[in-house]
């Protein structure tokens, strides 16, 4: 109730103080005209600077104060001192004491908005500074007005890090602005695209093959890299990056890298530009034939492995191919990746150099020595070796004579007495056997071994005695349709063909003979290697008839063949003492 009374008393007109002046009326008269400055921009002079505020005289009855942070762009230290003349925005009068609230930021904003609207209507570019991040983009200070820069409008291509752009003046194009809502949208990309189009037209007009330019790697693909030449892109193919082999462009380049390139090809119609980096370097293939003579040995590094061989780098930019056939003396039909590995250092021998075609043929096995030559040097024919049976085939045994080297014992060299088919049954894979070196053919890469040669040939003495034309006694061992097989002194095998079984055609029948029967035959041929004789009974009979005719008759004696043979038989009996 007392309060209400005070309000009523306060509201009731009071008698004027002594002197007849109304203080309230005087105050209103003093402040009234100045209140019209609220919401306007005025010019003032800084009187003093306190901790957080600057005190400014704007020509009104009272001084105003402005927060110091409004005298500098975001993130920078304010620079203001007494005596500075500044434009300020009059916000309001705080109370009847006349304290004025001023804003430097709003004054700058009002001025900026006015200038920006003019630039927007004229389609002009504006200057600003990126100073912060917001959802979907960035904030830009346009001289007092804050604008929004979408992330897609920062650059022509996506930018991962905008930090280098922040805090430095940039040129923008205003896309949209609404003063009522306080919204401004700007684009840096539009400015860059317009500038890029101008640069592109200027660059393409003066572009020529052979020109050397500087650019920035814009994108990297499997087949090369696209280089921004300043408004126009050119393709730097992977084969033109360096003289050395590059499997992927990322091995030598990275996005954003500055590079110096040469224009290799330019098509004005399609505006396609082919670039090269290696063309600016010395060609390592010049004089390569002198540096790498045929037959010389060098050390290189394996750079790539294919199904048909391996590429070896002799020096940066100079590679040679080791064909799969030149990789190993002993490992045949093996993938090169099982012999060498990428980045491995190897010794190679130069086999051929074709400088015009930029090809060098290398040999890996030639640098290691021919194992057949090395074996022949250590084990000449006649030497005895010992090794494990690695494989058994239908024609013989393969015996290990080195880490990757085999010798073959043909089935005919297993036994003197038994047929090869029988003798080979006695051996098993993994058995260790002794054998004699029979022959080493380096060119054909063959080593011939023999097991039976470890013992003397039991037929050697017989072969030394028998001569072609000798009459020998044989024992029938096998009867066949085309002749009979016989044994001579139990160590030699002979064969008498059907036509050689008798002089008379009617008697040329193999079934006339029986296994185990003894027959005399004439030797017509001797195969010492096979220990085999070729024999004839017919020839023996013809010789006997010829001798009888010569001794007991002649063509004109009138004696019959029967008489002559009868006389010959009787003569033989007489000589034998039968009569």
User: Average pLDDT over the chain, rounded to whole?
Assistant: 81
Tokens of 544: 């006997």
Q: What is the pLDDT of residues 560-569, one digit of tens each?
A: 556 656 666 6
Does residue 480 carry a pLDDT above 90? Answer: yes
Q: What is the pLDDT of residues 512-544, one digit of tens each?
A: 999 999 999 999 999 887 788 999 999 998 988
Does residue 361 carry a pLDDT above 90? Answer: yes
Average pLDDT over residues 216-241: 87
Other CB atoms within a 10 A radius of the CB of residue 204 amount to 15
pLDDT band at 4 (very low <50, low <70, confident <90, very high): very low
Does residue 21 carry a pLDDT above 80? Answer: no
CA–CA distance, 475 with 487 (Å, rounded to integer): 5
Chain centroid, CA 435 distance in Å: 47
Does residue 475 carry a pLDDT above 90? Answer: yes
Q: Are 154 and 193 in contact (CB under 8 A)?
A: no
Average pLDDT over residues 88-94: 65
Does residue 64 carry a pLDDT above 80? Answer: no
Contacts of 227 by beta carbon, 8 Å cutoff, 6+ apart: 215, 216, 217, 218, 233, 234, 235, 236, 259, 261, 275
The domains found in the chain, sorted by start residue, are 44-107 (2.40.50.140), 123-193 (2.40.50.140), 206-280 (2.40.50.140), 288-352 (2.40.50.140), 371-454 (2.40.50.140), 463-552 (2.40.50.140)
């Amino acid at each position: 109730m007392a309060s209400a009374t005070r309000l009523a008393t306060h509201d009731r007109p009071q008698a004027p103080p002594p002197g007849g002046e109304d203080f309230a009326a005087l105050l209103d008269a003093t402040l009234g005209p100045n209140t019209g400055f609220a919401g306007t921009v005025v010019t003032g002079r800084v009187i003093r600077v306190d901790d957080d505020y600057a005190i400014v005289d704007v020509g009104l009855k009272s001084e105003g104060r402005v927060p110091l942070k409004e005298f500098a762009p975001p993130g920078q230290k304010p620079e203001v001192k007494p005596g500075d003349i500044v434009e300020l925005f009059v916000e309001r009068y705080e109370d009847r004491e006349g304290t004025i609230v001023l804003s430097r930021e709003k004054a700058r904003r009002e001025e900026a908005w006015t200038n920006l609207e003019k630039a927007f209507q004229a389609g002009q570019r504006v200057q600003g500074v990126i100073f912060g991040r917001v959802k979907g983009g960035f904030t830009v200070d346009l001289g007092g007005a804050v604008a929004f820069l979408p992330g897609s409008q920062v650059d022509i291509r996506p930018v991962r890090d905008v930090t280098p752009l922040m805090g430095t003046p940039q040129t923008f194009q205003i896309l949209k602005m609404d003063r009522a809502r306080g919204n401004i949208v700007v684009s840096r990309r539009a400015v860059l695209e317009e500038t890029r189009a101008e640069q592109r037209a200027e660059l393409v007009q003066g572009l020529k093959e052979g020109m050397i330019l500087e650019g920035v790697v814009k994108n990297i693909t499997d087949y090369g890299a696209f280089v921004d030449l300043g408004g126009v892109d050119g393709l730097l193919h992977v084969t033109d990056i360096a003289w050395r082999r590059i499997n992927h462009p990322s091995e030598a380049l990275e996005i954003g890298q500055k590079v110096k390139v040469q224009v290799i090809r330019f098509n004005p119609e399609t505006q396609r530009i082919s670039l090269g980096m290696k063309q600016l370097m010395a060609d390592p293939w010049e004089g390569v034939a002198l540096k790498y003579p045929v037959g010389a040995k060098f050390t290189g590094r394996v750079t790539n492995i294919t199904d048909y061989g391996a590429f070896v780098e002799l020096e940066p930019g100079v590679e040679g191919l080791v064909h799969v056939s030149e990789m190993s003396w002993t490992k045949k039909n093996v993938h090169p990746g099982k012999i060498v590995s990428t980045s491995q250092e190897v010794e190679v021998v130069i086999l051929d150099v074709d400088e015009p075609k930029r090809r060098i043929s290398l040999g890996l096995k030639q640098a290691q020595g021919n194992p057949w030559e090395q074996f022949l040097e250590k084990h000449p024919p006649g030497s005895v070796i010992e090794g494990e049976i690695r494989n058994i085939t239908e024609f013989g045994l393969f015996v290990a004579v080195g880490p990757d080297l085999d010798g073959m014992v043909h089935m005919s060299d297993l036994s003197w007495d038994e047929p090869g088919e029988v003798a080979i049954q006695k051996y098993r894979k993994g058995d260790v056997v002794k054998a004699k070196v029979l022959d080493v053919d380096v060119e054909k890469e063959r080593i011939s071994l023999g097991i039976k040669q470890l013992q003397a040939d039991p037929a050697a003495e017989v072969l030394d005695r028998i001569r072609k034309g000798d009459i020998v006694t044989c024992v029938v061992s096998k009867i066949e349709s085309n002749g009979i097989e016989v044994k001579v002194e139990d160590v030699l095998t002979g064969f008498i063909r059907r036509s050689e079984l008798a002089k008379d055609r009617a008697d040329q029948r193999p079934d006339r003979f029986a296994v185990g029967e003894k027959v005399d035959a004439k030797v017509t041929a001797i195969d010492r290697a096979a220990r085999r004789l070729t024999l004839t009974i017919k020839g023996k009979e013809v010789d006997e008839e010829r001798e009888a005719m010569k001794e007991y008759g002649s063509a004109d004696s009138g004696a019959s063949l029967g008489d002559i043979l009868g006389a010959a038989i009787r003569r033989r009996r007489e000589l034998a003492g039968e009569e």
